[in-house]
Structure 1
Amino acid sequence: MQLYSRSAGSGLPVVLLHAFPLSSAMWLAQREGLAPFCRVITPDLRGFGGTLLGDDEPSVDAMADDVVRLLDEEGVDRAVVGGQSMGGYVTMALCRRHPERVLGVILADTKAQADPEPVRANRERIAEAVLAGDTGVLLDGLPTLVGATTRERRGMVLGRVRGLMQAAPPAAVAWAQRAMGARPDAFGTLRSLTVPALVVVGDEDEISPLADARAMAEAVPEARLAVIEKAGHLSAIEQPEAFNRVVAEFVKSLAP
C-alpha cells in the first residue's frame, strides 16, 4: 500500500502518524512549527486522507509495514517515529516489527495495553454502524477526543476536529476500529526498546490518561514524560505550541 504523505523541512527525519479518525491534515501546525528542526513526514494511514484502503485484513501491523515502505520510498534508513492515539499503536507495532528502522520514538496520548473485551465490542459496534450508514455514531465520541478546556474555550479547534472526523470514509473507520481492537499488548515491545522515547499526554486526556502515559514511560529503558497542560486526547491540535516545543527538544537531543 502506497501512503499519501505531506512533508516539510530537512534534516533528521521525523514521521508523525495521525490519530483516529483523522488524517495527516491534523499535523499542519507540526509541519510548520517543526520544519526548522527536522524533516517532518506525515502520511495518511490506509483509508484516510489521500491513501487508499486496500483489501488487507485489519491490523496495526499492516499499517506499520505501510510506513516502512514509505521510508523506503523516501530513501530514509532510520527515522524518529511517533504517533498520536491510533498513530501511537502503529508506532509500537513498527517498533516490534522493524526496530532497526527507528532512531527514537514519540508516543502521544496513546496506551500500550490491548483493549479489554468491552472496548473491543464497542469498536465492532461502531464499525458495523458506520458501514450500515450511521456515520453520526462517530461524532458521538467527539467530546471525549478533546479536553474540557478545548470544549469550553476553543470552538474553532472543536470545529476543525469535527470536520476532520466527518471527512473520514466509513470503510476506513470500520477497518481501523477492527485493526485497533485486534492489536496486541505492547509493553514487551516498550521494554525491549534500545532507543530513547518521548511520551506525551494532555493533562485533560480522558481516553489515554496520565496513568497510561506514566506506565509506558516506566516500561521504556530510556524515556521522558511530558505533560501538556489544558489539552485532552488530541494534544497536538489543542496545544500545538507546547506539543511542538517538547518534540523539538526531544529531536534536538537525538541529533548527531
Structure 2
Amino acid sequence: MIRWLVRGVLVLLLAAVVAAAGFRIAASLRERQEAEAVLPEGGRLVETGAGRIFVMEAGEGPAVLFVHGTAAWSGLWRPTLEAVAARGYRAIAFDLPPFGFSERATDGDYARRSQAARILALVQALEVRPVLVAHSFGAAPGVEAVMAEPAAFAGLVVVDGAVGLDAPARGLPALLQPMWLREAALSLTATNPLLTRQLLASLLHVKAAATPDIAELLQRPMVRRGSTRAFAEWLPSLLVPDPDARSARPEGWAALPAGAELIWGDRDSVTPLAQGEALAALAPEAHLQVLEGVGHIPQIEAPEPFRAALLAALDRIVAR
C-alpha cells in the first residue's frame, strides 16, 4: 500500500513538472518579438537617462503623467487620456518596465527606488512638470519619485495605491528564489494567455469589466522576447518590501507637499479602502474620493465615475 502511495505521489510530481516545463516552453515560443516590431500605433519611444520609455499622449495643456499597475501598460489608460485631454490637459501615459513596450533593465533591477529613478528620468526627458497619477503597484515607485524630487511634480493623485505602508520585513519565499522556478510559476499564471481574463477578474469587484477586449489588450506586450524572464526578475520587487523606501514609511507620507489627491474603490479587495484612509490621514491636507461599488481598477470598472473624480482632482490641483 505504501509503495503504491509513494508511486502515486511521484507520478503527480512528475506530471506537475512536465506541465510546468510545457507552459515554460510555450511561453518561450510565444515571446519572440522585439519591442520595436510590435510597438502600438499612437505611441513613441522616448530616450531617457534610464533607457527608452514608451509613451502615449493626447492633448495640450498642463501635463498629467499616468503610471499603470502590475502587468498593465499605457494602453489601458487610453480612454482616460482622451477624457483628460478633452478637459484641456496634456495627458501622457507610459510603460513602466518590465511591462509594456519600454526598454527593460539589463541588470534586472526593478526595485522601487530604481523604478522611481526611471520615472524621474522620463519627466526630465519630456521637460514637463506633471501631475502624477499613479495606480495600484505603480503608486509605490510613483510616490517614491514625488518624495525624492517634489519640485519636479505639480501634484499627486493616487488611485487604489499599493504602497506597502509599514510592511513587515520579509525575504523572497524559498520556493521562488531559483529563477527557473519563478519563470515556471509565471508561465503558468501571469504570462499564460489562457488565464489573463481570470486573473484580471480576480482583482475586480465588477467582474464584468474583465472583458475579452481588455484581456487581449493586456496580452499585447507579452509577445516581446523574454517577457516571462523579465517578469521573473521583477517579481521580488512585488513580494519583498523595501525598508529604505520613503513611500513605505508614514513619515514619508507626512512630508509630502500639501494637497495630495486619492481616489479609491470602496469594494477594493486588493488594497482595501482602509489603506487609502490611512494614507489620506498621513498626507498633509489630502483629499480622498471614494467610489461606491467599485473595486481595485476603477478606470475599467466604473469609467465615467472614475473620470469625473479624476478630473475634479486635477482641477483642484491646477487651481492651487
User: Which category of TM-score, normalised to the shorter sequence, fits these structures?
Assistant: 0.7 to 0.9
After TM superposition, the score normalised by the length of structure 1 is 0.86
SS at 1:217 equivalent = helix
Indicate conservation of the 8 Å contact 1:203/1:232, yes or no. yes
For structure 2, the 5+ residue unaligned runs are 1-50
Select the residue among 160, 174, 197 that pairs with 2:214.
160
Q: Distance in 2 between matches of 1:217 and 1:71?
A: 25
For structure 1, the 5+ residue unaligned runs are none
SS at 1:132 equivalent = helix
Q: Distance in 2 between matches of 1:126 and 1:227?
A: 41
- Which residue in 1 is equivalent to 2:71? 21
Q: Write the letter of the residue equivalent to 2:291.
A: I
Indicate conservation of the 8 Å contact 2:74/2:94, yes or no. yes
Indicate conservation of the 8 Å contact 1:95/1:189, yes or no. no
Q: Matched residues, percent identical?
A: 23
Indicate conservation of the 8 Å contact 2:84/2:91, yes or no. yes
Q: Distance in 1 between matches of 2:175 and 2:220?
A: 17
Q: Write the letter of the residue equivalent to 2:280.
A: A
The offset of 1:166, in angstroms, is: 7.4
User: Which of the pair has more CA radius of gyration?
Assistant: 2
- Which residue in 2 is equivalent to 1:233? 296
1:5 aligns with 2:73: no
Alignment size in residue pairs: 251
The offset of 1:163, in angstroms, is: 4.9
Q: Say if 1:203 and 1:7 are closer, same or farther in 2 by CA, change over 3 A.
A: same
Aligned pairs for 1:112-123 (under 5 A) are 112=163, 113-116=165-168, 121=173
Indicate conservation of the 8 Å contact 2:168/2:241, yes or no. no
Indicate conservation of the 8 Å contact 1:10/1:39, yes or no. yes
Q: Deviations over 1:93-118 (max 9, x none)?
A: 10222222121111111144154467
Q: Deviations over 1:26-82 (max 9, x none)?
A: 101111111122111101001221112122423121111111111112111x21112
Aligned pairs for 1:1-256 (under 5 A) are 1-37=51-87, 38-56=89-107, 57-76=109-128, 78-112=129-163, 113-116=165-168, 121=173, 124=176, 129-132=181-184, 134-138=186-190, 139=195, 141-147=199-205, 150-151=206-207, 153-154=208-209, 156=211, 160-161=214-215, 163-164=217-218, 167-168=221-222, 169-180=227-238, 181-183=240-242, 184=245, 185-256=248-319
Q: Which has the higher contact order (CA 8 A, sep 6+)?
A: 1
After TM superposition, the score normalised by the length of structure 2 is 0.70
Q: Distance in 2 between matches of 1:96 and 1:74?
A: 19
Q: Say if 1:172 and 1:229 are closer, same or farther in 2 by CA, change over 3 A.
A: farther
Q: Say if 1:45 and 1:135 are closer, same or farther in 2 by CA, change over 3 A.
A: same
